[in-house]
Amino acid sequence: MRHLLSTKDVSRDEAIAILDIAEDMADVAHREVKKLPTLRGKTVVNLFFEDSTRTRVSFEVAAKRLSADVINFSAKGSSVSKGESLKDTAQTLAAMGADAVVIRHGASGAPRVLADSGWIDAGIVNAGDGTHEHPTQALLDAFTIRKRLHGAGSRGRGLDGVSVAIVGDILHSRVARSNLWLLTTLGATVQLVAPATLLPVSTAGWPATVTYDLDAAIDAGPDVVMMLRIQAERMNAAFFPNAREYSKQWGLDDERVGRLPAASIVMHPGPMNRGLEISSGAADSAQSTVLEQVANGVSIRMAVLYHLLSGTTEA
């Protein structure tokens, strides 16, 4: 694997291999010396054209734990705000000898352009592009689910037979798309729950069932309920009447959490809008994996960087 652009390109074996490597990386976090010499001398550039806290910091921690050099580059305060194109930025980074570029961009497909253009000869990791994909988030979600369900016996296993309900703004969510491809590759069944206005025009060809009714989805007793953030920055049309209305119909409140089976888990990729798509009670309950997801994010990103940057690079 040279780039990680989309979870659609990831085979079941590759996905399980990355999750297994992440298991080993997770152990590093519990050691006194939280560092491995594996990527010494490699340079990882975090190229962020959109705001991010946890993804950027997570990639930075991951790269540093593997002893890579990290350069953080955000569009604000760089020549991008002077109108520099993606091509020129990429070629500048190539001239400085970047081995991997972690890119977040507002335009869907920007990482693919970077990977296919030949502007830069580095491994490209998609850290979220527009409303397209966010593969490392899906991998860490799969890792979190697998760890909750199988515990210490997780290694080598997929998510066969696990039922997942993804709830909220499917239309704009790159997290939902990446998760849909990856979770089904791993053997899970996915149900999408959203208001009709926040679903894509067509979900034909998506390996998922679709419903508008959260209560029915909850009563079916899914193993995993994955809440999506209402992305205020992308709410440029009247997708729902108002926040209270949304919260009442599609928010995961305390009462709905109470109806879930005790073994079900509640996920959220963060940052959370408490009181909108998820109540504080749900977010802080024992069933919530929000903080585990953040901790697992570092392990997964270490595994991805290791997977892309170690080994011979095929020409």
Q: Which residues bind another protein (CB under 8 A)?
A: 17, 20-21, 23-24, 27, 31-33, 35-38, 66, 155, 306-307, 310-312
Q: Using CA of residue 43, residue 70, residue 142, residue 204, what is the dihedral sign?
A: negative
263 Rama sector, left if φ>0, alpha if ψ -120 to 50, beta otherwise: alpha
Phi-psi group of 74: left, alpha or beta (phi > 0 → left; psi -120 to 50 → alpha; rest → beta): beta
CB of 103 to another protein, least distance (A): 22
**Least distance (Å) between residue 59 CB and another protein:** 18
Tokens of 262: 């005790």
**Cβ closer to another protein: 39 or 252?**
39
Smallest gap from residue 133 Cβ to another protein (A): 22
- Cβ closest to another protein, residue 12 vs residue 35: 35
**Helix (H), strand (E) at residue 45:** strand 43-48
The pair of three-digit structure tokens given for residue 80, joined into one six-digit string: 């991008």
* Closest C-alpha among 93, 33, 90, 43 to residue 63: 43
Q: Which is nearer to another protein, 266 or 303 (CB)?
A: 303
- CB of 307: closest distance to another protein in angstroms? 6
Taking the least distance from each CB to another protein, the nearer of 64 and 307 is 307
Nearer to another protein, 1 or 80 (CB): 1
- Reading the block at residue 29, the tokens are 């976090």
CB of 250 or CB of 306, closer to another protein:
306
Nearest-angstrom CA–CA distance, 78 and 170: 32
Q: 275: closest CA among 233, 301, 242?
A: 242
The Cα 287–Cα 164 span in angstroms is: 14
Least separation in angstroms between residue 36's CB and another protein is 4
CB of 298 to another protein, least distance (A): 15
Tokens of 33: 């010396």
